[in-house]
Structure 1
Amino acid sequence: MRSSSDLAAAPLYLEMAPPLNAASQINHLFVFRDMGVLSGRGSGRFATDLFTLSITCDDSGGARGSMAPPRPGFTPRLMPFHGVVAGLRLSSRPERLPEAEELKPLASALARVQQSDEALPLLVTMLDELAKCLRFAASPGLCSARTERRKVREETSVSRRRLAASRRFRRLLGQLATQTVSLTDLALDAGYYDQPHMSAACRAFAGKPPRALRLQAAQCGFGRSLQDARLKDRLILVINE
């Protein structure tokens, strides 16, 4: 990966809906670019009920993929992140991870996104192609609640109840950018008992209160880079400060 001195573009985290013809197990695409600003002191990785397939540039100029299981809680960063990573978040593991050869087109797109937002549409196109290629095992069908709990625990190492709480927080996170809705109404809409209940969840899953998360989240534009309606309409969440 390039050194932080090579990174010219501003910090950015965004989530986008997957392409229409992708498997239902693909929840969203993401891009994270930083120079230690968003990932500085007190920051960390948010809790998630999803698997994370990440694509990162390696030192040879290629790209490698890695799979991370769901995170049951907020995980503080040991050090700031410098670089760019993109990928997919999934409700279950794919049957196989992409080979290094399949990731070569992504390597070039990732390198360009380090320098400019203008390369974001190309990167999204590459992620869309990756999403369309992933295959997942067929659902095992109906099973008892006890069997379902056991399978969830075996696959994710997280309880079904904790995953449900993470899922509710993820829905809330996507709504926080709506500045016209009060935090109390957002809490009720997301399924929390009240605003204090929502605040406790935000601190547990994101390390910050909801008001601070709202200040970070914005459904903003990127000049000409994502103004194509086919891309703009897919934006779920943007954090860029």
Structure 2
Amino acid sequence: MPSSNELMPAPLYLELAPSAVAAAQIDHLFVFRDTGALSNRESGRFATDLFTLSVTCGSDTDDGPNVSLAPPRPDFVPRRSSFCGIVAGLGLSAQPEQLPGAEALAPLTLALGRVRQGDHGLPSLVAALDDLARGLSFGAPPQTFSDRTERRRARADTGVSRRRLAATRRFRQLLGDLARYTRPLSDLALDAGYYDQSHMSAACRTFAGRPPGALRSQAAPRVFGLSLQDARLKDRLRLVIM
């Protein structure tokens, strides 16, 4: 009898723009499905200046969802083991006031189970993520403080220094440019705010564990199979890795 990994469709990572009515603190939606191919031990989690709200299904689709909120990561974190399953969620520029409850997660859990079986469920999963995003609330924007107080508040809120947040934000911009454009790497380095290509390459190894050329070759923006032609997906896709 085939194993659960053999029954799961091809691995993929999708990153999508939020809906037009989403709160300003919601940077993107993501879906990650893998059998250990994309998340082998040589891979890892990239540095990010965002909070990551993740919802993961267990190996059995009857298992309840596991909800977590991860703070920004200042460095590349190698994986201890590969990931087999499916996870979806939101990238947030601020911490939400509270995590969603079980009732709000029920449609998302069902949609995750469908995408575990095939790509036909992706539009429903994106709709469920949009509903999740609409249900989040965020505190009032911070007031203006002295520079010293701002630095202290940034570290207290995120666990990362303000300078490091700026560096990871610049790296995240570069990731999008590497996926979208075919211009020379030296041009993309300057566009993203790096001194030169060597400075950019060093940042990629620090924040992603690999050089920019390898990151560019892995990203395949707007390269769609038939299952990704739905306009609700296609018009919002930022990044596809398959």
User: Which residue number corresponds to residue 28 of structure 2?
Assistant: 28
State the alpha-carbon separation in 1 of the partners of residues 86 and 117 from structure 2.
Answer: 10
Any conservation in 2 of the 1:119–1:225 contact (CA below 8 Å)? no
Structure 1 match to 2:43: 43
TM-score, normalised to structure 2, is 0.94
**Residue identity matched to 1:178:** R
Output the amino acid matched with 1:124.
Answer: V
1:193-232 correspondence to structure 2 within 5 Å? 193-232=195-234
1:163-190 deviations in Å (ceiling 9; x for gaps): 1000000011011123521111111111
- Of 144, 147, 153, the match for 1:145: 147
From 55, 77, 86, the equivalent of 2:88 is 86
**Which residue matches 1:154?**
156
Counterpart residue identity of residue 35, structure 1: T
Q: Please give the alpha-carbon distance, in whole angstroms, between the structure 1 residues aligned to 2:64 and 2:191.
A: 44
The CA deviation at 1:82 is 0.4
Q: Provide the aligned C-alpha RMSD in A.
A: 1.5
Tell me how far apart the structure 2 counterparts of residues 80 and 117 of structure 1 sit (CA, whole Å). 21
Where does structure 1 lack aligned partners over 5 or more consecutive residues? none
| Distance across 2 between alignment mates of 1:4 and 1:179 | 37
**Bigger mean CA deviation after superposition, 216-225 or 12-21:** 216-225
CA contact (8 A) 1:4 1:83 kept: no
The 8 Å contact of residues 149 and 159 in structure 1, kept in 2 or not, is answered as yes
Q: Is the 2:223–2:240 contact (alpha carbons within 8 Å) kept by the matching residues of 1?
A: no
Larger mean Cα displacement after TM superposition, 141-150 or 190-199: 141-150
For 1:25-77, what per-residue CA distance to the aligned partner results, in whole angstroms no more than 9, with x for missing partners? 00000111111111113100000000000001135433231100000000000
Q: Which amino acid aligns with 2:37?
A: V
Query: Runs in 1 of length 4+ with deviation above 4 angstroms?
Result: none
Give matches, 1:45-194, under 5 Å.
Answer: 45-58=45-58, 60-194=62-196
Whole-angstrom distance in 1 between the partners of 2:39 and 2:52 = 18
Q: Secondary structure at the match of 1:231?
A: helix
Q: Which of 28-37 and 214-223 deviates more?
A: 214-223
CA contact (8 A) 2:205 2:211 kept: yes
Residue 234 of structure 1 deviates from its aligned partner by: 1.1
Structure 1 CA distance for aligned equivalents of residues 189 and 217 of structure 2 = 16
Q: Distance in 1 between matches of 2:114 and 2:104?
A: 18
Q: Does the 8 Å contact 2:86/2:116 carry over to 1? A: yes
Aligned partners of 2:123 and 2:232 also within 8 Å: no
Gaps of 5+ in 2: none
Count matched residues: 238
Alpha-carbon distance, 1:7 to partner? 4.3
